[in-house]
C-alpha cells in the first residue's frame, strides 16, 4: 500500500477533480489558444473564415469571463490517470463520478449520458461506461490526471483505415509510410467542416481496431507544441500540417487558409494480417487539461498544458475589428425577423450573412424522429429550427436559463429534414457542417434555407438568446427537448439556399481536386 493512503483525502481529491472538470469545460489550454491565434492571423480580412475565427475568439473570451462551457457539447468525459503503487483507485473513481455529477448539476457539463437501448438520459452524466476512467500505475510519487472533453460532432468524424486500400482522390494507399500519409490527408478531407474545423488530429498506426483508436486518442493528450521523438513520425507530422492546410476547407468548412491546427502521430506493433491507421478528430474547442495531484492530500500541485505565453483575446478581437473594416468584399448582411415568408427565403443566397431576431425552436435527433410521426407541439409554419442541444439551468423560481447553446452537426438529420420542413412549413434550419442532397432538393422545392452557425461558439450564441419562452418534450432529456428561444442578432451564414446552391458541395468538390495533388509518393 502507498505510505500515505491513510492520509489521502477523498473529499479533497473530489474537489480537485471538480476544479479540473470546470476548468477543462470553460477554459482552453494555452497551447490550443496559441494555435487558434496563429490560424486567425493567416486568414484574409473580410472572409467568412475570418469572421468565424473572430467569433471563436470572442466565444473563448466569454467562456473565460462567464466560467461557462466553451461548447455546449461537453462530450463523454475521458480521464487518463497515472498513480503510484498502492493508491486506492476504487475511491478515486467514486470521487470522480461524484465530481462529474456535481459539475453537471452546476451547468458546467451538459447531461450527455444516454441509455443505448431505451434512449433515456441519466441526467447526471453517469451510466454504464460513463465517464471513461483509465488507470495506469507508475513509479513516480504523484498522481497525474488528464481529462479530455471530446464532443459528438468531432467524434463522429473519427475514421479508421485498413491498408492496403483505395482512397478517393489519392488512389492506392499501401502498407508503408506513404500509405499512412495518404490516409491522414484523406481523414482531414472527409471531415470537411462537420467536425468544427479547424481541428486537431491524433493518429494511431498499428494495433488492432480497438487499440489503434485508443492510441489515436492518446495522441490528443500530447501538447500541440511538443516534438515527436521518432524522426520519421516527426517529419510526417510536419508534412501533414503543411499540406493539409492546402486543401482549402477552412474554418467551419467555409473555405480558407487553415483547416488543421495540430497533428500528433504515434505507432505501435501489429499482427502481420492487419495494418490499421486510426484517426481521432478533435474540433477547435480542444478541451484537454491535466493536473498533478499530491497522493498524500488529494490537492492539486500543478496544472498541465499551461506552459508558455497566454493569449489576450480582448486584444485579438480589437485587431480583428480593425482588419474586418478594411475589406468586407461582397458579403451581404441581412436582418431577418421570424417567422419568415417564402419570399424572404427565396431572396437569400449562399454567402449571405444573416442576423435573426424573434423566435426559434431547437430540434435534434429525438425531435426529428418524433415529428415524422406526430404533430408538432407548436405551430412551426414559417419558423426556424435550430439544431442545438443547449446547457440549461433552472433557477429557484422555476425559470430556465441558457448556459451554452452552439449548433450541433446537422447531417444526422438528413433522413428527416426535407420531409419535416415541407410537412410543417418550416422555412429555415440552423446548424453546422451542412446537409446533403435530399435536404438541398427540399430547400429548392419548398422554399427553405440552411444557415451555418459557428460550431463550438456556445457562449456567443447563448448571449444572443434573450429568453426561454417555453419547452416541449422535456422527457427526451435537456439536450433533445424542443426549447422555445427568443433571440436577438443571432448571426449565421447562408450555406445552402433555395436555388440549389450549396457552399458545402462547392468546398468538398474543390478540396477533392486539391487532394489529388498529393497522389504521388513522398515518403519512400
pLDDT, position 330? 58
Give the pairing type, strands 391-394 and 384-386.
Answer: unpaired
- CB contact at 8 A, 57 and 110: no
- CB contact at 8 A, 157 and 193: no
**In the chain, what are the domains?**
1-151+288-329 (no CATH), 152-282 (no CATH), 333-508 (3.20.130.10)
Mark the ranges of the chain whose per-residue pLDDT is less than 70.
1-7, 320-330
pLDDT single digits (tens) 284-297: 999 999 999 999 99
Model-level pTM? 0.93
pLDDT, position 323? 60
pLDDT, position 3? 46
What per-residue string of b and e applies to 19-41 under the rule 16 or more CB within 10 Å gives b? Answer: bbbbbbbbbbbbbbbbbbbebbe
- CB contact at 8 A, 49 and 39: no
Distance CA 118, CA 120 (A): 5
pLDDT single digits (tens) 205-244: 999 999 999 999 999 999 999 999 999 999 999 999 999 9
Residue closest to 166 by CA, chosen among 151, 147, 179, 155:
179
pLDDT, position 321? 61
Provide the Cα torsion 101, 103, 109, 113; round to 10°. Answer: 0
pLDDT, position 452? 97
Amino acid at each position: 500500500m502507498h505510505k500515505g493512503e491513510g492520509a489521502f483525502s477523498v473529499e479533497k481529491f473530489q474537489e480537485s477533480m471538480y476544479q479540473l472538470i470546470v476548468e477543462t469545460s470553460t477554459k482552453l489550454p494555452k497551447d490550443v489558444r496559441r494555435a487558434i491565434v496563429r490560424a486567425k492571423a493567416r486568414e484574409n480580412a473580410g472572409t467568412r473564415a475570418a469572421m468565424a475565427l473572430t467569433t471563436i475568439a470572442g466565444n473563448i473570451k466569454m467562456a473565460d469571463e462567464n466560467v461557462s462551457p466553451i461548447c455546449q457539447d461537453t462530450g463523454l468525459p475521458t480521464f487518463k490517470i497515472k498513480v503510484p503503487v498502492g493508491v486506492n483507485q476504487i475511491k478515486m473513481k467514486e470521487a470522480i463520478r461524484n465530481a462529474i455529477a456535481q459539475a453537471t448539476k452546476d451547468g458546467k457539463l451538459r447531461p450527455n449520458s444516454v441509455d443505448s437501448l431505451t434512449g433515456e438520459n441519466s441526467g447526471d452524466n453517469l451510466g454504464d461506461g460513463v465517464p471513461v476512467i483509465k488507470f495506469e500505475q507508475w513509479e513516480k510519487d504523484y498522481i497525474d490526471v488528464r481529462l479530455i472533453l471530446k464532443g459528438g460532432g468531432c467524434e463522429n468524424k473519427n475514421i479508421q483505415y485498413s491498408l492496403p486500400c483505395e482512397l478517393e482522390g489519392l488512389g492506392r494507399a499501401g502498407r508503408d509510410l506513404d500509405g499512412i500519409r495518404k490516409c491522414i490527408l484523406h481523414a482531414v478531407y472527409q471531415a470537411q467542416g462537420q467536425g468544427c474545423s479547424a481541428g486537431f488530429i491524433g493518429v494511431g498506426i498499428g494495433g488492432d481496431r480497438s487499440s489503434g483508436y485508443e492510441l489515436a486518442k492518446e495522441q490528443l493528450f500530447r501538447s500541440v507544441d511538443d516534438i515527436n521523438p521518432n524522426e520519421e513520425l516527426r517529419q510526417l507530422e510536419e508534412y501533414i500540417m503543411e499540406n493539409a492546410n492546402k486543401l482549402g476547407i477552412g474554418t467551419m468548412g467555409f473555405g480558407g487558409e487553415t483547416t488543421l491546427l495540430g497533428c500528433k502521430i504515434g505507432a505501435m506493433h501489429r499482427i502481420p494480417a492487419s495494418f490499421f491507421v486510426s484517426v481521432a478528430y478533435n474540433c477547435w474547442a480542444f478541451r484537454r487539461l491535466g493536473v498533478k495531484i499530491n497522493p498524500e492530500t488529494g490537492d492539486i500541485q500543478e496544472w498541465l498544458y499551461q506552459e508558455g505565453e497566454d493569449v489576450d483575446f480582448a486584444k485579438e478581437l480589437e485587431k480583428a475589428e480593425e482588419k474586418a473594416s478594411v475589406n468586407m468584399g461582397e458579403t451581404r448582411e441581412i436582418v431577418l425577423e421570424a417567422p419568415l415568408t417564402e419570399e424572404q427565403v427565396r431572396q437569400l443566397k449562399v454567402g449571405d450573412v444573416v442576423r435573426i431576431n424573434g423566435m426559434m425552436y431547437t430540434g435534434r435527433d429525438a425531435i426529428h424522429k418524433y415529428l415524422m410521426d406526430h404533430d408538432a407541439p407548436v405551430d412551426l409554419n414559417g419558423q426556424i429550427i435550430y439544431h442545438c442541444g443547449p446547457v440549461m439551468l433552472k433557477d429557484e423560481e422555476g425559470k430556465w436559463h441558457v448556459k451554452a447553446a452552439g449548433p450541433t452537426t446537422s447531417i444526422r438529420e438528413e433522413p428527416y429534414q426535407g420531409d419535416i420542413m415541407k410537412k410543417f412549413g418550416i422555412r429555415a434550419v440552423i446548424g453546422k457542417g451542412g446537409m446533403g442532397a435530399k435536404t438541398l432538393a427540399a430547400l429548392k422545392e419548398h422554399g427553405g434555407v440552411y444557415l451555418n452557425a459557428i460550431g463550438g461558439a456556445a457562449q456567443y450564441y447563448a448571449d444572443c438568446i434573450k429568453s426561454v419562452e417555453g419547452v416541449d418534450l422535456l422527457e427526451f432529456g435537456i439536450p433533445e427537448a424542443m426549447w422555445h428561444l427568443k433571440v436577438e442578432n443571432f448571426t449565421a451564414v447562408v450555406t445552402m439556399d433555395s436555388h440549389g446552391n450549396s457552399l458545402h458541395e462547392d468546398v468538398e468538390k474543390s478540396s477533392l481536386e486539391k487532394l489529388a495533388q498529393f497522389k504521388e509518393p513522398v515518403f519512400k
